[in-house]
Amino acid sequence: MKILFSPTSPYVRKCLVAAHELGLADRIQLLPSNAHPVQRDPEIIRNNPLGKVPTFFTDDGQVLYDSRVICEYLDNLAGGTLFPAPGARRWETLTLQSLGDGILDAGLIARYEDVARPQPLRWPEWRAGQLDKAETSLAHLNARPALLEGRVDIGAIAVACALWYLDLRFEDLRWRERHPAVAKWFASFGERPSMRAAWAI
């Protein structure tokens, strides 16, 4: 198996954390890529018309994207439990995954505002609005710590990778000060070997 890789992509990281939890990380070859929202990489587009990472290649020749599809494929391949069976727990887990992915989407948009948009065209209020999505999402989780406690599934992984990305790109947010319950959970979940793993080409 292979994955188009970027060391700072939170969605690539989400897939690799899931693979690590499932015991599959050593079976995935990392391929270099250069995803960018403006200078789009034709090598990625050749396999994924969206031109985005992660793009994943199965051993039988399928090409999969995005992270939600890739993670579910890996869970199925390993016979894992990151995705619960249909029922209330599954819908809760998938909704939590959507929340984590939404934080990531907002963070990436804010990041692109900083590094991809020319200075005269930047819109500070737009950036602030995106980061406020992260703020309101963390407030939601902080008020409901039971949503995160004791779980190791795709919902928890998505949220953890979102927090990892906020720390990587928006250290000045200081989100822990306002959301101590989330900070406490992340301090514990972040010690898992899958979260502490480092990947590089």
Query: Which of 50, 78, 106 marks a domain boundary?
Result: 78
Q: Can you give the CATH number for the domain in which 133 is found?
A: 1.20.1050.10
Which contiguous run of DSSP H or E holds residue 74? helix 67-78
Q: Residue 198: inside a domain, yes or no?
A: no
Chain centroid to Cα 134, Å, comes to 13
Chain centroid to Cα 173, Å, comes to 18
Q: Residue 69: inside a domain, yes or no?
A: yes
Q: Are strands 63-64 and 56-57 parallel, antiparallel or unpaired?
A: antiparallel
| Measured distance CA(54)–CA(8) in Å, rounded | 11
Which pLDDT score, from 0 to 100, does residue 113 have?
92
Answer yes or no: do 61 and 97 share one domain: no
Answer yes or no: do 57 and 98 share one domain: no
Closest CA to 2 of 24, 27, 20, 28: 28
Which pLDDT score, from 0 to 100, does residue 2 have?
98
Which contiguous run of DSSP H or E holds residue 4? strand 2-5
Query: Which of 28, 43, 78 marks a domain boundary?
Result: 78
Which pLDDT score, from 0 to 100, does residue 144 have?
98
Q: Residue 98: inside a domain, yes or no?
A: yes
Give me the average pLDDT of each 10-residue run along the chain (201 residues): 95 98 97 87 94 96 97 98 97 98 97 91 94 98 97 98 98 96 98 94 80
Q: Can you give the CATH number for the domain in which 31 is found?
A: 3.40.30.10
* Range(s) of the domain holding residue 99: 88-192
Is residue 106 within 8 Å of residue 129, measured between CB atoms? no
Alpha-carbon distances, residue 195 vs 10, 16, 46 (angstroms) = 12, 9, 31
Answer yes or no: do 68 and 135 share one domain: no
Q: Residue 48: inside a domain, yes or no?
A: yes
Answer yes or no: do 110 and 154 share one domain: yes
Query: Which of 31, 50, 78 marks a domain boundary?
Result: 78
Answer yes or no: do 13 and 55 share one domain: yes
Q: Residue 18: inside a domain, yes or no?
A: yes
Which pLDDT score, from 0 to 100, does residue 66 have?
95
Answer yes or no: do 73 and 132 share one domain: no
When divided into structural domains, the chain yields a total of: 2
Is residue 106 within 8 Å of residue 134, measured between CB atoms? yes
